[in-house]
Amino acid sequence: MKTLQEKLKGLGIISYKELERLTECSESLAKQLWYGSKREGKPLPLSRQMANKIKEKTGASLDYLLS
């Protein structure tokens, strides 16, 4: 299974700074998502709201982004 960072790079999002700009989230959250911070042993999930913003910009499916 691909990491979120691998998925985003495949969509042309090449840095946490770009993720921060696209999703209008904090730099701290963008870094946590980009570098795969863990919560209870699982990667921090991408929110549906953030996934929708990425979908609008890239055309990626929500299933792909949220899986």
Q: Report the number of distinct structural domains present in the chain.
A: 1
Give the model's pLDDT for residue 24.
95
Give the model's pLDDT for residue 28.
97
Q: Say what the pTM is.
A: 0.88
The string of DSSP letters for 4-62 reads: HHHHHHHTT--SHHHHHHHHT--HHHHHHHHTT-EETTEEPPPPHHHHHHHHHHH---H
- Token duo for residue 37: 């911070």
pLDDT tens for 9-32 read 999 999 999 999 999 999 999 999
Q: How confident is the model at residue 42 (pLDDT cuts 50, 70, 90)?
A: confident
* Residue 27 belongs to domain with CATH number: 1.10.260
Q: 32 is in which domain, residue-wise?
A: 4-66
